[in-house]
Structure formats: C-alpha cells, structure tokens
Structure 1
C-alpha cells in the first residue's frame, strides 16, 4: 500500500469513527456535541476520500447508511421501505448541478446558447429541524409510529406519537390506501419551545438548548404522559410503503394527504425549473426568522412520481431530491479568552473572545456569556472548542462546550476582584426576595463594580443612555463623543452637559465650529423634557420606558416620584415590590439626589407635571393597604375581613362615615383588643396572632402609619375626594407593533395607542389584545398567528384609530 493510500485509509478510519460517535449522540442520545455544519464538513470530507479511493468503501461506512442504532428501551421496527437521508446543496451551483443530473437522468434536453432546455417541475418545502418519524395507517387507523433509527431499523414510539395533537388517529374522508405509511418531521415551534423551557425552569427541570433537541427528547420519553405534556407537532413530507399511489405527483400526493387529515407544510409550492427553485429558496431565507418554527434549508423533489422512480437511489440518498441548506446558524470555534465589560449599572459581564468564524453569513469574533452562572452552567474554560449560535440580529452566544476537544492547558474563567476599568472592588449582587413578613437573601448571578460614576465605564454608559433618542434625545452626542467628553474631564455627570461651553468643545475630534454650535443648541433644546422621558433618562435599574411612563402618568410630578414609598409604588400597574424598592433606593441615594438637583438648577423644566392620575388615586382601600403590609399569614381575604370588621365597629361608635373615617390606627385598636378580636370569624388563629404581633411592634406599626400618611399627602387615601373616572377606550388592553409602518412611525403609533389607554408591549403572548403588522413583520406576526391573536394591517389600524376620533397625522 502506498504512503498516499495509507494516509487516506487512516483518515477515512478517523472520520468514520468520529462520525459514528456523532451519529450516536445525535440520533440515540439526543445530545449532539457539534453543530450540523461541522458534521456536514466531516461527512463531505469522507465522501471525497471514498470517491478517490472506492476500494476503501465498506458497507458500514457512514456514507452507506443513515443515523444511528435504536434505543434498547423501545421495541425495534423494521422499515419495509428504508428511510433515507437527502443529499445537500450548500451553494447555488450545487443546486444547478443537481438539476443537470436530474435532466440527464431523465434524458431531457439540456439547453444551449439559445435556450434553457426542458424544465423539470419540483416540489418545494422548508426543511424542518426536528426528528424524522414514520406513521403507519392500516384501513385508515394509526397502528404504529417509528423513528428513522439507522434508516433500516427504528424505534417503536407508537404510544408517544398518539399523544401529538395534530397526528390523526383515524384518517378523514375516504379513498385512502389500505396500507399507508406517512413520513414526516416531529418538531416544536419556537413559541412552544419557549413555554416548555419556562415551565421546566420553574420546577427546576432540564431546559433544552434548541427546539430540535426539545422535540427529540420529548418524543422519546419512556413515559408517554411526559410526551403528551410537550407542545409537539407533526408535518408530513412523503410516503413509505403504500398499497396504492395517492397521486401522480409529489405535490398532488401531499395535497391528497391533507384531505385525509395529515398535516403538511403551508409553504408547499410547485416550481417550474431551477430558477423558480432558487427564487423560492431566497424568499424563504428572507422570511426564515418570521416563521413559527426553525428550519435549516429547503427541500426540492422532482414532482413527477414516475420520474422519481426512474431516477432511483444511491446507497443512502435519492437521485430525485436534495436539501439546499441555509448558511449555518451554529458553528464551531475556539474560545481564545474571556474579557469583562462594565455596563451602565456597574454589571461586570463576561464576553467571549473567539477565533473568528463565519456564522449565518457574518464573521463572529465575540459572543455573549451573559453572566457567571451561565459560565458555570456551560462549564466553559478558556481554550475550549465551543458551539456559537447566531440567529438573525440576535447577539451571538456560546451554546455548548465540546468537552472532548478540551486542551490540556485550558484555563478556568475567573471574575476579576477589581474593576477592569477603574480598579474599584467587584462584588457579587444579592437577591432579596420579599414575601409575607420576611426577606430572603441569596446570591445573584450578576457581579458589580462599586465605583459607580467614579468608574469611567459606568459614567460613559450612564451618559450615553441619558442622551439617547428615547431619553433626553440630544442629537450629536454619539458614543464616541460621550467617551471623548468624559476622557477630557469635561463631563463627570449628566448635569455637566448643561454647563458645556463652546470654547471647551470646539476643536475636539469631530467638533468643528458648526457642529459645536449645533451640539450646544441640541443640549439647550433638551431642557424641556416630559416627566416620563426624564425618569427614563435617569437610568433607574429595572425601569424601562414603559415603567417611566406609568410613574409619570400615575404620580404626576417628580416630587411625588422621588418621595414615593415602595408600598405606595406597588399600586402602580406592573410594578412589583422588587422594582418598587429599586426605584425608592435610587431616589434615596444622596449622589442621585445631587445629580437631579444640579439638573434642575441648570435649567431643566419638566413638562406634563400635574395632579395624581385619577385611576391611581382611586386604587386604595383599607383592606388593600393591609394586604400590602405583607403581614405573615394574612392573605387578601383575611385583610378584607379585618377591614370590614374595623369599619363595622367604627360605624357602631358613631364616628361619621366609617368608610372614609377609618384609619390604620383603628385596625391596630381592633387587633390589640384580644377578647373582641379573637371572636372574629373568617380569620384563622395564626393570622390573628400575626396581626397582633405586627401592631404591637412599634417599628412596623409606625411604618404602616407612614405609608398611610403618604397616601393622605398624595391625595389617594380612601378618605380623599375622588375624581370621576373617565375610562379610556383601550384601557386594560395590550397591543404590539411589528414591521415598518408607512403612514406613521411606530413611535407615533405607540403614542396614539397609549393616549387611548392601551399598553404597548414588545412581545406577543396569549394576553396580547391585538397586533399591528406592517411590511417586514417577522416572528411577532408568526407568534400572533400561532396564538390566534387578532392582527391589523396599517390601514385597518388607521381606521380603528379614526373610530376613536384619533387622526393618523
């Protein structure tokens, strides 16, 4: 044997061993350790070597079979017609070569300089990323389900496939063959995947890396009750054994199956010639992220069934079908280092520095690691080979470590003890969970630099946020300009922006005379922000644009916002106790108070300040306040009983209108009167004891009186005179905007919806009232369709606004 042949034989052996291992992990364990693109590269290398050295091809080569072995936990199923794989096209020329091969195989004219020759019809459908299965129907009834397995022998998953809701247990209509084996893909939609992972996380269960793994793991549960609880779906793409041909064409066959209740792809189309196929591929590629499910390419099949039979098969793939793959969303690369970035709130975040690799058509050299808990979950070390995923515009992220490729000199990822920017201490955050009568402290996932605005990174990010378009909207202050102003010592807090002089900035990089004057004009123009913009610009942790609007609309003035106690803030919609404490702590901080004072002293005049929001003012009751005091063992029903009894006793004493006159003091008197309080029905003994303990504790009793006094001061105590509430037509509704609107911007549309009382959310859920979808709408539109949420186009939306007297202008 020559040296060249020996080297080829050795490499072929290595590739077969590696591919067999990956097949086992992918098909048997459902735990793939490399992305599909890497597997395809290894497979193509093996194919090329075997093509060069056909004498080295053996029957057990991965190129001669499909998949892996059946799990011993399931019974085996022998496929009467083998479940083969598909050849892959990665480039346009690969697809054209496939078309030429088909035309040659059918003896069709190939075309010349004056024409393209006879065009072949192809069926086109997305290539779903799931698990291939077969469903066997006899006399129209489902009798067996099986996985593909190694293509010849699969696993009997009959009990599990019967739990998939869109798999018919009995075929509809009539005319189906006595024996009909339907083949297709079991998959999980993105929305279903998100719901599954959320529910798994809640109970501390295993979460899945992607929908494909989730679908495979769910379908192959030994306990079919678990499978039944998972959001699995089935989509048919072809047939196995069948006693009669349903139709003469691939598309006709699938359409016929659809009439019998078998689900097929809604994207199924017929293409006339290879140019139509390429157009379909490009169209689906553009809409890929807007589909409700993951796909990794497009499948093209010769449409005529007789032509398929004439073209026949290779060892593992048909000559009449091909999968045109999309650029891989996942790739392998090396983790060169982990650096730590400091954000606006001081969060010290690990960022992966990677050996550059092309993912989904874009070269990626950095990826997010989120936080140190994620680093620990992944088990990632510097020097590891990792799987990187990039989907659409989502920031690339490290998905998995290929542990078997870990080098001997791999190093652990350690959090720096000092901030990499300012040298201040880095501390792990604490999570404070507040519940009835107690606080539980645990370690958080985030590490923070304690340097605050003395840290240049935090200062820069805080000012970048402060001047951003949705905050103070100071045009001309981009990231580089802000960094320059901070580095030059001209800006040490947001308030310093309003003391900048022409002489200080002219001549800085990017600032000539005209641009300097324009910047100063933009800063001056920003001095009259709405209260909501100003609150958002301050960068309060956990306070986004929507919460800032709620604070401004409900409390009505900066003074009330800064003074509001956490328990009072929880009367706001969508503000829980944790966020309320963040807001209160921010305004209690002396440094923040100083910055706000300087901003106001330097000319900021907040607009839209006024009275307390009418709905907010009317939101308080005595029992509601008792419930918000978070007294151990006292639920809302118990608080209502105590409040009603207090009001009843006050009425008996003849002190005016008891509903308005009642105070926390009266509740305390009731609870301390043990003989009278002990006979109160509807409140258990544990709750009564907790109430008595609470009001006997001077500190907690005084806190309750402090909260009540603030309700009085704000004019929202139940004794205060209430305004007549005029309900807004869309109050309580949640709308979502997606795509690009043409008559008005999405910001304008959002303002109009909020003016009608609606909440405008950034994601679609079952609680969404309506979605407004413009051109280019993507995943949000797909999710709305899946959840049956009403959808309006822009013209219908404008007509709806007009119904409420709102102009589109």
Structure 2
C-alpha cells in the first residue's frame, strides 16, 4: 500500500474494485481478471480489516460469512404478498391465458381478416429452486426472506449474504430508496454434482436433486455451511418499492442488471401467443443443455400498466403464468425387483414399477444400479418411490417415501444363482495393493460365474462385439444375435466368421439381399484398427478410450496380451485394478482360445507397430523402485538409490554396508530392501517386470524417440461439449486423437481445453469454475488447419 494512501482509502478502493469484479463475473459473465488476482485483492482487504476492525462495513465482501449458528429463523411479514403463479400444462392452456389477457385489457379480438391485437410478453425459464425476497435500503442489503406461505416467510438474512452473486450493495445509481427484489436461489447442475461428490467422499448423505440441495443449503442454521454450498441467485421481479422504476417488466430487469443483480440470460420479449409457444419450444429443446434445472417457462405481460389493470385473482396474478414442462419426477409403486445379467456377468437390480408418466414418457422400469445403491436408498418391494427421468437418461429411483411403506413390504435380495443360466452368483472382491501387502474387501457388484456358458453374457458379449464403435458389423441387431445364440450357431465372437449363406438366410427377418449384406459386413470387419479390436473383446473396465490408449501406446496386440500389470500402470489413466483386469483377461485360457480363433479365421487387427514415442524410455529407475512397494522406500529414497547404484541389479545385490552409504536411508528401509532382495519370488518378479520394460522399449536404458510432429497434443486431455456445426463431435474427437490428445467426457482440473459449441451446459460451467481454457469451434478449426487437418 503506497505511503500516501490511508488504510481507509485503500479499503474503500478495494471494496469498489472487488464489487466491480463480482459484477463482471456473476452478472455480465465477463471476468476481467484471473481468480488469482481476485484472491489477492480479497486477501489484501481482509488483512486491512483485520488490522483495522473499525473499517469493516456491512457491505464489505469479507462479511459474506460470519456469526455463530442461529437457534432458529425469525418471521418476516411480506408487505406485498409473494404470490404463486397459475400453471399451463398444454398449448390450449396458453391460448386460453392469452385470450383472457386480451379480453381483460379490452383489446381488439381477431376475426376472419386478422389476428387482433398482440400482447407483449416478457419470458424467462422457471428455475427449479427456492423463492426468496431481498430488501435493499439506500442500496444496502438489509434483509433476506423465504417466500414461506406467501404472507409470512423466514428471515434468512445471514445466509443470503453468503451467496456470491447476491450484491451486498447495489452498484451505479438511480435505484429506489427501498427496493425489494424477488428471485430464485438455485444450484447449478455442475455445483450439485460437485456437492454430492464431496458428500460421497466423506460418507455424508447425498441430495436427491438440485432443488432440494438449494433449499436445504439456504435453511442451514449455521451460515458457514450455507457459504460452503454452490448457491446462486437470479432475480425475476420486485415487491415493495419506495421510488421509481421503469414502466415495463423487461426494462426493470435490465435496470436490475445494471445495479449488479443477476437476471436470466434467457430473458426475452415476444409478441403474442405464437411468440410464447415458440419460446417454450426453444427452451424445451435446450433444456437438457442448460446449466441449471428448470421446470417450465414464465410469461408475464410486459407493461406494468397492463399488469395493474389485469390485477389478481385468489392467490395468483392474472398477468402471469408458468407454462410447465412435463414432470421429470413422479411418485409410483415399486412392484418388484428383477435381476439382469450383463456381458461381464454383472447381476444388476432393475425396478419394475407401476406404470407412470414421467417427462411425457410412460415409465415402468428404472435402474437401481447395484445392491449398494439399494441399501443406500433403503428400498423395499412394495414401497412408494420417487422416479426421475431427465432427457435420454435411463429413469432411476431417487428416493423412498417411507411414510407410505406397506406392512407387507419385502426386502430386496440378490439371487444365489444366475436367473439365466443357474450358475452361482458371487460378490466381487476388491483387492487393494500397498506396501503392507494386499487387502481384500467386498465390492458393490455381484457376478454370474457362468461366463460365455451363460446365454445372457454371451448375447451381450456378441452385441458389444458387433457394435458400431467395436467391430462395426452392420445388420446384426439384438434380435438377430439372440437367434444366432439360441439356435447354437454362435457360441463365441469367433463363430461369426464361419457363418454360411444358408445359415443366415434361414434366420427370421433375413432375405437374400440382407443375408449378402450381413456376410459382406462380417468380411469387411476383418481388418479393424487395433483399438477397435481391443474394445470389441469386452475386457472389464476397458472402455473405448482405454482401448485406444493401449493400441497407440503399445502398438502391437502381442505386447498388450503379455503386458504385466506393473508395466501397464505406466500408461496414463490405467490404475492398478484396471491393469490387473487387462492382464487377467489375456491370461484366461478361454479368452486366449477365442482370440486365437478370431485370428485363425482371418481377423487381422491393423497395428501401429511401434511403441508411441512418448513412452519410449519413459520409466526411470527411481520411479520403478518407488513402485516396488518396499517399506521405507518412497520417491526421495528411490532417487538416492538410483543415483548411487545406477541399476536394479546393483541395488538388489548391494549389501548392508553399501546401502548404509546412501544418504538418509534409515535402517528400517535398508532391512526392508534386503528382505525384498533375498525373497526369490519378489526379486524374480521385479526382474521380470524390468525385462518387459526393456523388451517394450520403456526401460530407462532404452533409446529415446522423438515425438512425431503429428502428436503435438500428446498427453493433453480435451473435452467437447455443445453442438459443433462444421463437423460432428465424433469427427472432431478423431482429429484430436490423431494429434495424440485424449478426449474425455468430463471436465476436471487436469483438462487442457474445452471446446464449447452452442448449447454447452454443465461442462462449460465447470470449465469456467476451474479456470480451464475454453475454445470456440472456430479456434479448434484454426488449430487443426495449422496441423494440416481440414474439417
């Protein structure tokens, strides 16, 4: 702080600058400085106020969180009642509403020669949150209250002050001396997911949906808990006003925005009934991509004079209506729980429900994920449950209404035998490996041990094998696969390659042309990329991205087949458990037989051949030592051993006196290292892993390779979201992968770049929250063009 500037002057300047940054970030969505600079300003203000407590003001951004937990909430009487809105559920309801408005205003009606006068409506999405009232006096926030019953709410002043985008002081000028702002407190989809993820990590209770999470967070007696939740505010109207406001709804909300209050980015003016219906359809189509949950659209007559003329009826205004979307959650009865068997043998509980309409679709089945989820929900057969369906997401059971549980409700029990083949059903075991050895615990998945002798697993394996992203055999749908398995023509994926014309023609639904087309597709699939082939095999926990990584990194099927788990973990995003799944799959005699049969019948994966350049000599001796899980030998000790001895053989052959020369290597670590070296089994395994690293070219003594120019994005993780207009997301993904990038489905702090097209939603929000670089599609196209790739 300059000598000539007093602490009071500096504090005032900081408050004004931080308020401006808050406005740009939360209201304009145009941050002017990086988070680090904002934090620096905030911490400087905090330090000044700590040294000079008399400088603290109620509107200071440092005062958002403070005070002890309250014993309860006081009552707030709303001077202007917070009324609810009438609802429209069908298009005709909206026509009726518009007719009533025009009749109430005595506007000219339509006839054969014209449509009559059109009313101007202010439109915005109906956020699924908690309605609140914020009272500002002379520009300062003095009170926050819930809607309550419309006449009386709860005083939540301390809690609303913790919401980051609620201004503690209005900016600019021209605001009324007393202004009551009304709006919705909500939680974004990204914020909700992050909150539940934290809850799962700590073993706390998760929330069923963002609305419950927002309501529960805002009504915490301890404001520090509210402050830790990702709440947001969006204003949509006003209550008491002592002063002047513009004469229409749209202009009022624009004024609110100028004063630092966040409003909907989807706010729009439309003319007449057709304008409202078009807006409703547009928002409905984009609903799933929005950053927040909505349950409809609100339409308000724009002119305030018209609003006053129309007035109110009962508990709702005549000049506004909420056009609701079909419900995404409904109550229904759980009739039974059945168990399905997937291609990996996972026995999964499926809820059979009393049919109910959810989001415009009749739902009679819903996923229960696994038995851990059944236990978490506490669900029993016969319960009344809440079902949720969002977009194309499989309906799921969200919550049990225990108050409605019948006396004859039955617990959900896993079958001891496979419902398809009768083989035993066993619970998976999770093996955790560490320096103290391995420990085993029960997993959440139950599996049928019948493997491909189980027709359910065989059918699902074949369906996966022929799918578009695997071997891409067009013409083999689920029903055709079921016929092939049921008739005994196919008992493994390899049997597809010895089907005859007569065998296929005899199947239901096949004529001469479709038979020829299928056999041609089977023949054409014999030269897949190595990545497609690996993915098609259906290795547990190996998805498309991991298959691409294995193919690109190791280059040959033979390397992947014999790769040891301790070698596979050097590949990015391959953990030890996945590495053991891969190794176990190829070590299995039956799987080896199927692969050999595929190769014998002409399936020849196209192999890159060479190890990817970035993995050549990628393993250091120190890293290798640290991963041997020898007690007392962590990364620093491993570095010292590597620099002292230079090779694994010399380290394992070193005696006690030699090891004592290693700086800061204590007796406990030396003893553990000597015990490891003297254990024939452990030493032999370590030497086998080292030899494989040498064979693959990953060893520290292997020659390094220069990365090819085409792999300029090697090691980077990219995310595509929204609609890409110049190319499909699959094409964009393929281009990025050709440059060495990994294209992920979710955003994290390790994401290098997010490419966001129109309609981008929660992924874009999370990227902005984490400070991840965001590109437009045009920036992606420009980068690809520089690499010689055209869209």
For Structure 1 versus Structure 2, the TM-score category normalised by the shorter chain is: 0.7 to 0.9
**RMSD, matched Cα:** 2.1
Offset from partner CA, 1:272-321 (integer Å, 9 cap, x none): 22221121111111111111000001111121222222322233222222
**SS of 1:476 mapped into structure 2:** coil
2:482 counterpart residue number? 483
Q: Greater shift after overlay, 134-143 or 313-322?
A: 313-322
Q: Greater shift after overlay, 254-263 or 317-326?
A: 317-326
Q: How does 1:572-651 map to 2 (within 5 A)?
A: 572-647=571-646
CA–CA distance in structure 2, aligned partners of residues 90 and 465 of structure 1: 41
1:514 counterpart residue number? 513
CA–CA distance in structure 1, aligned partners of residues 681 and 746 of structure 2: 43
1:300 counterpart residue number? 299
2:37 counterpart residue number? none
Change (3 A) 1:136 1:396: same
Offset from partner CA, 1:543-577 (integer Å, 9 cap, x none): 11111111111111111111111010011111111
Does 2:684 correspond to 1:694? no
Change (3 A) 1:261 1:609: closer
CA–CA distance in structure 2, aligned partners of residues 310 and 678 of structure 1: 93
Q: Greater shift after overlay, 772-781 or 204-213?
A: 772-781
Offset from partner CA, 1:755-802 (integer Å, 9 cap, x none): 112111223444433344556666555655666655555555333211
Change (3 A) 1:621 1:767: closer
1:703 counterpart residue number? 685
Q: Is contact 1:567–1:629 with CA below 8 Å preserved after alignment?
A: no
1:720 to 693, 697, 702: 702
1:800 counterpart residue number? 783
1:166 counterpart residue number? 165
Change (3 A) 1:518 1:726: closer
Offset from partner CA, 1:185-205 (integer Å, 9 cap, x none): 111100111111111111112
Q: Greater shift after overlay, 621-630 or 678-687?
A: 678-687
Q: How far is 1:732 from its partner?
A: 2.6
1:677 to 638, 659, 662: 659
Q: How far is 1:747 from its partner?
A: 3.1
Q: Greater shift after overlay, 421-430 or 636-645?
A: 636-645
CA–CA distance in structure 2, aligned partners of residues 374 and 354 of structure 1: 17
Q: How far is 1:692 from its partner?
A: 3.4
Q: Is contact 2:617–2:697 with CA below 8 Å preserved after alignment?
A: no
**SS of 2:534 mapped into structure 1:** helix
**SS of 1:345 mapped into structure 2:** coil
Q: Is contact 2:190–2:762 with CA below 8 Å preserved after alignment?
A: no
Change (3 A) 1:436 1:132: farther
Change (3 A) 1:315 1:743: closer
Q: Is contact 1:618–1:722 with CA below 8 Å preserved after alignment?
A: yes
1:666 counterpart residue number? 650
Q: Which runs of 5+ in 1 are unaligned?
A: 1-70, 648-661
Q: Normalising by structure 2, report the TM-score.
A: 0.87
**SS of 2:428 mapped into structure 1:** strand
Q: How far is 1:685 from its partner?
A: 5.1
Q: How far is 1:708 from its partner?
A: 0.9
1:132 counterpart residue number? 131
2:740 counterpart residue number? 757
Does 2:730 correspond to 1:747? yes
Q: Normalising by structure 1, report the TM-score.
A: 0.86
Q: How does 1:344-423 map to 2 (within 5 A)?
A: 344-423=343-422
Aligned pair count reads 721
Offset from partner CA, 1:205-251 (integer Å, 9 cap, x none): 22111111111111111221111111111001111212113211111
Q: Greater shift after overlay, 102-111 or 193-202?
A: 102-111
Change (3 A) 1:779 1:162: closer
Q: Greater shift after overlay, 560-569 or 735-744?
A: 735-744
1:730 counterpart residue number? 713
Q: How does 1:521-540 map to 2 (within 5 A)?
A: 521-540=520-539
**SS of 1:768 mapped into structure 2:** coil
**SS of 1:511 mapped into structure 2:** coil
2:466 counterpart residue number? 467
2:44 counterpart residue number? none
CA–CA distance in structure 2, aligned partners of residues 363 and 698 of structure 1: 64
Q: Greater shift after overlay, 721-730 or 356-365?
A: 721-730
Q: How far is 1:174 from its partner?
A: 1.0
Q: Greater shift after overlay, 73-82 or 542-551?
A: 73-82
Q: How far is 1:739 from its partner?
A: 5.1
2:214 counterpart residue number? 215
CA–CA distance in structure 2, aligned partners of residues 682 and 305 of structure 1: 79
CA–CA distance in structure 2, aligned partners of residues 609 and 123 of structure 1: 59
Q: Is contact 1:506–1:512 with CA below 8 Å preserved after alignment?
A: yes
**SS of 1:404 mapped into structure 2:** helix
Q: Greater shift after overlay, 290-299 or 549-558?
A: 549-558
Does 2:413 correspond to 1:429? no
CA–CA distance in structure 1, aligned partners of residues 652 and 97 of structure 2: 84
**SS of 2:526 mapped into structure 1:** coil
**SS of 2:743 mapped into structure 1:** strand
Q: How does 1:197-276 map to 2 (within 5 A)?
A: 197-276=196-275
Q: How far is 1:476 from its partner?
A: 1.6
Q: Is contact 2:76–2:145 with CA below 8 Å preserved after alignment?
A: yes
Does 2:83 correspond to 1:84? yes
Q: How does 1:549-560 map to 2 (within 5 A)?
A: 549-560=548-559
Q: How far is 1:79 from its partner?
A: 1.9
Does 2:76 correspond to 1:94? no
Q: Which runs of 5+ in 2 are unaligned?
A: 1-69
**SS of 1:490 mapped into structure 2:** coil
CA–CA distance in structure 1, aligned partners of residues 222 and 547 of structure 2: 48
Offset from partner CA, 1:107-153 (integer Å, 9 cap, x none): 33333343333222221111101111111111111111111122222
1:14 counterpart residue number? none
Change (3 A) 1:279 1:473: same
Change (3 A) 1:200 1:799: same
CA–CA distance in structure 2, aligned partners of residues 384 and 715 of structure 1: 59
**SS of 1:101 mapped into structure 2:** helix
Offset from partner CA, 1:705-728 (integer Å, 9 cap, x none): 111111122232212223233462
Q: How does 1:52-63 map to 2 (within 5 A)?
A: none
CA–CA distance in structure 2, aligned partners of residues 694 and 177 of structure 1: 78
CA–CA distance in structure 1, aligned partners of residues 125 and 220 of structure 2: 27
Change (3 A) 1:410 1:421: same
**SS of 2:349 mapped into structure 1:** strand
Q: Is contact 2:616–2:703 with CA below 8 Å preserved after alignment?
A: no
